[in-house]
Structure 1
Amino acid sequence: MKSNIRIAVAALVTCTVVLILYSNLFLKDVNTSVDVTWSKTTTKPKVGVLPQQQPTAEAPKANPITKPRLRRYVPRPVISPIKFSPEFRRTIPQNSGFWNRKFHHSLKQLDLGNVSHLNSSTESSESLQANIPDLNSYSALYHQFLHSMHFRTPDLLINQPNKCRSNGQPERVTLLLGIKSVARNFEERQAIRETWGQEGLTGDGLLVRRVFLLGTLPSDVPDLRALMAFEAQQHGDVLMWDFKDTFYNLTLKDHMFLEWTLQHCSQASFIFKGDDDVFVNPGAVLRYVKSLTPDKASKLYAGQIIYQASPHRSTSVKYYIPQSFYDGPYPPYAGGGGFLFSGALLPSLYSVTWIIPFYPIDDVYTGMCFHALGVEPEKHPGFQTFDIREQDRENPCVYRDLLLVHRRSPQQALRLWRSMKSPLLTC
């Protein structure tokens, strides 16, 4: 009997020790290589300062993917002082367009030193109805965009806080690849990992890092969250925010990528942002940025530049913009399939995205932001966002001096990459 009691006591002590050790491990700081959190917080920006992720007083909800984790407190960057280019101010006409009026109101508030209008995160139906006479003709997706076009603080659900760190110290990243993707595009992401998006040091000591940028899927599609969490843990390159991954939300995705980069990879010298269906020649990209003078490198915004563009007015076109929403030309901008810009521009570029109202087309919006800073886009013939001649598309020698082509399937990318890397290739 005494022997049984001793065994029971020993078992109880052992279980207690195991539970204590497990608790200490479980509740450690979440600043690990991957941070998966499925929680919601509410934040509003203060005057002149971006909102901060405050610890919530509510008990955290159970994580449906991984064990619950404490949320790491990360302050958002402070808005840098911004002086808008006079030329950009003149580019956007002051007329009856809803976006035009919003833009010039933001400029007026900025000139007065008042940024309290950043507190607005929604646009009421009454306000939209009063300001857009043909609002009822807008599509449902447009209505969703209009209601949330000032929202800039979604939760970061999957993070990679140590992506640009080694042994706790920031790395000297030469090129950060920010690749827009959607949850279901597993094949596209894996093809990029195996081909042009490979991470690490090049032969001449240049460091490349990679992240994929995602929102959440609509509720009427299969739940891929468990697969996304596994992919994030497996590859350490997935970022996911708590907003619906729609075409009109790509501008919000770009804004959040700028914020993440400032927080976690601000030392990156150059940033490439592109789609997951492009093919990039990383060797050509790195040769190009190495060839730049310091002055040019600090103001770089390069790609295939679209000049003298204006909004599409046909409702059958993907890039349709109602005239009552925006009325005027577009400034020159780099095609959204992929472009390069200088890491030195990150703080001012991010700050501008808090002032200029979001626009439904992300590459046009990015062009507006660079134009607002007085940064001229650099046209580079190596960016072929509208593809190359059909007869050249399977010829690996054609790609030696190209930086980017759009678009290529995962299978095409793999075939092309293997051909380009073959020791038997003679060009």
Structure 2
Amino acid sequence: MPLRFTKTFTAMALVSSFVLVILYSFLNMPVTHSRREAVETPSVTNISPARAPTTATTSEKRSSTQPVFSTTAVPLVTISEAFIKNIPKNSAFWNRKFHSLVKELAITGGHPARHTGCRPQTTESLRMNIQDFNSYPELYQEFLAGMDCRSPPIIIDQPDKCAPVSGTKQILLFALKSTPGHFERRQAVRETWGKEEVYGESLIVKTVFLLGQTSGDDPNLDKLLTFEAQEFKDLLLWDFQDSFYNLTLKEHVFFKWALYRCPNVSFIFKGDDDVFANTPAIFNYLQSLDADKASKLYTGQIISDASPLRDVKIKYYVPESFYEGPYPSYAGGGGFLFSGQLLKSVYLISQYIPFFPIDDVYTGMCFKALGIAPEKHIGFQTFDIREQDRENACVHKGLLLVHRRNPQQTKRLWRNIHSPLLTC
């Protein structure tokens, strides 16, 4: 009898324990699920690039091409009335797209919608909306077909580029448009003005080169680019063809990348890989800015009162049926500076500015839509200086940027302006 009682008691105890375990697991299941969701939805403003893994997780891959904002971190988007009035309401294709997006923004009350993925335009749709579409150059037609595709995957990333460095307070990020075959230009920049080092006690320079893919007619440079990226850790490569009409796309994906990987960057220098920049002079200029001016900085060589060129033989040709109206004042794309504090706002408002085939005009549109006016700086010479001064180290020492210089000139100028023998 005692043995039977012991067996019965043991069995009841085991059953009770099992029921308690099931009940406890059931009660805690929602909490575990909520934590998992929180981990898999990172916020751009809360991610530390220093801790970002080299091999991206599933959520990180998603975020590397499309930043994920927490609800409270996303500001309302307001397009300046001055910019809206500057764009005529007419039958031009770009104008219609823009005013349609303005209406969309008004409906959402300024809450930005997510324009992600790729929504290519069909040839039939483009012919229906642009009567003389067949007269457009082939590359222009290709641009129009893909102008709503904004999120190409990134192939080569640099997740630790803006990792904090002890003793520095500000980051100046050089973001330079390059192409796969321009290794010599990139190397000249690395060895001179784009070298990653600390200036003074408060500013560190970081450098990235922005690349797309080579075309099918070009030699395959994939292995060389992989090696270069591993060696120098400064290449960013996206999966789209590197071409003139894709420079606006390159600008846009850089905004997204910087917002995710370098959310605390202080200043951004956007330019070409064949410019000569005077980094010490740039540092001195940035140090001279008060806090208010630094927070709204958008400066370079300013092009004002420009309008579309209608000659099809010109590189910057814009058909009248595509866009009508003047251009806003904008900083020349050879090289310009802007505040890192504007990065999020520029990216968000760019969702409501249709892609334009000229990248620096597009960037000017984004800043104009924010209500930020570009400021002229005489030290930016994106159209070069007098021919007789192009080898003069003293002239270059007083400038922030000149365009263009080949790798040999860049090396020579950098060496000469830092020579203790130079007297200006």
**TM-score, structure 2 normalization:** 0.82
Asked if 2 retains the 8 angstrom alpha-carbon contact of 1:34 and 1:160, the reply is: no
* CA distance, structure 1, for counterparts of residue 53 and residue 387 of structure 2: 41
In structure 1, the partner of 2:339 is 342
CA spacing shift, 1:72–1:81, aligned 2, 3 Å: closer
Match of 1:157 in 2: 155
Q: 1:80: how far off?
A: 3.7
Q: CA deviation at 1:255?
A: 0.7
- The equivalent of 2:68 in structure 1 is 77
Q: How big is the shift at 1:400?
A: 1.8
In the TM superposition, residue 96 of structure 1 has moved relative to its aligned partner by 1.2
Counterpart pick for 2:274 among 268, 271, 277 = 277
Residue 325 (1) aligns with residue 333 (2): no
The Cα offsets for residues 88-124 of structure 1, whole Å up to 9 and x where unpaired, read as 0011111111000000001011111186683562112
Q: Distance in 2 between matches of 1:232 and 1:34?
A: 16
Q: 1:33 to 1:373 in 2, by over 3 A?
A: closer
Matches within 5 A, 1:249-398: 249-398=246-395
8 Å CA contact 1:385, 1:405 repeated in 2: yes
Name the CA distance, whole Å, in 2 between partners of 1:132 and 1:255: 25
Select the residue among 237, 241, 264 that pairs with 1:244.
Answer: 241
Q: Which residue of 2 aligns with 1:404?
A: 401
Q: Distance in 2 between matches of 1:270 and 1:208?
A: 10
Q: Aligned to 1:337, what secondary structure does the other structure show?
A: strand
Task: Tell me the matched-pair count.
Answer: 368
1:127 positional shift: 1.5
Deviation at residue 257 of structure 1 after TM alignment: 0.7
Aligned to 1:207: 204
Deviations 1:310-348 (A, max 9, x none): 011111110000000001110100000000000000111
Residue 177 of structure 1 contacts residue 271 of structure 1 at CA under 8 Å; is this kept in 2?
yes
- The one-letter code matched in structure 1 to 2:120 is T
Report the Cα offset of residue 422 of structure 1.
1.1
Between the aligned partners of 2:137 and 2:229, the Cα distance in structure 1 is 34
2:130 counterpart of 1:132: yes
Equivalent-residue separation in structure 2 for 1:159 and 1:143 (angstroms): 30
Q: Which amino acid aligns with 2:96?
A: R
Higher helix share: 2
Deviation at 1:191, TM superposition (A): 0.3
**Alignment match, 1:6:** none
Asked whether the equivalents of residues 170 and 267 of structure 1 are also in contact (C-alpha less than 8 Å), the reply is no
Amino acid at match of 2:378: P
Matched residue SS, 1:165: coil
In 1, Cα distance between the equivalents of 2:141 and 2:167? 42
In structure 1, the partner of 2:99 is 104
Name the counterpart of 1:144: 142
Aligned equivalent of 2:232: 235
| Residue 125 (structure 1) shift | 1.7
Give deviations 1:155-183, integer Å, cap 9, x for gaps. 0100000011148x997443110000000
Please give the alpha-carbon distance, in whole angstroms, between the structure 2 residues aligned to 1:144 and 1:89. Answer: 27
Judge conservation of contact 1:33–1:163 (CA < 8 Å) in 2: no
Aligned-pair CA distance for 1:204: 3.2
Paired position in structure 1 for 2:81 = 86
Q: CA RMSD in A?
A: 2.3
Q: In terms of Rg, which structure is larger?
A: 2
Distance 1:137 1:394, change over 3 A: same
Amino acid of the structure 1 residue aligned with 2:206: R
In structure 2, do the counterparts of structure 1 residues 35 and 224 end up closer, same or farther at CA, with 3 Å as the change threshold?
A: farther
The answer for the alignment partner of 1:226 in structure 2 is 223
In the TM superposition, residue 424 of structure 1 has moved relative to its aligned partner by 1.0
CA distance in structure 2 between the aligned counterparts of 1:170 and 1:357, rounded to whole angstroms: 41
For residues 256 and 85 of structure 1, what CA distance do their matches in structure 2 show?
A: 23
Matched residue type, 2:243: T
In the TM superposition, residue 128 of structure 1 has moved relative to its aligned partner by 0.6
Partner of 2:19: none
Aligned partner of 1:20 in structure 2 is none
Check conservation: 1:172, 1:268, Cα contact below 8 A.
no
Deviations 1:240-271 (A, max 9, x none): 00011011111111111111111111111110
Identity %: 54
CA contact (8 A) 1:303 1:378 kept: yes
SS in 2 for 1:304: strand
Distance 1:35 1:143, change over 3 A: farther
SS of aligned partner of 1:84: coil
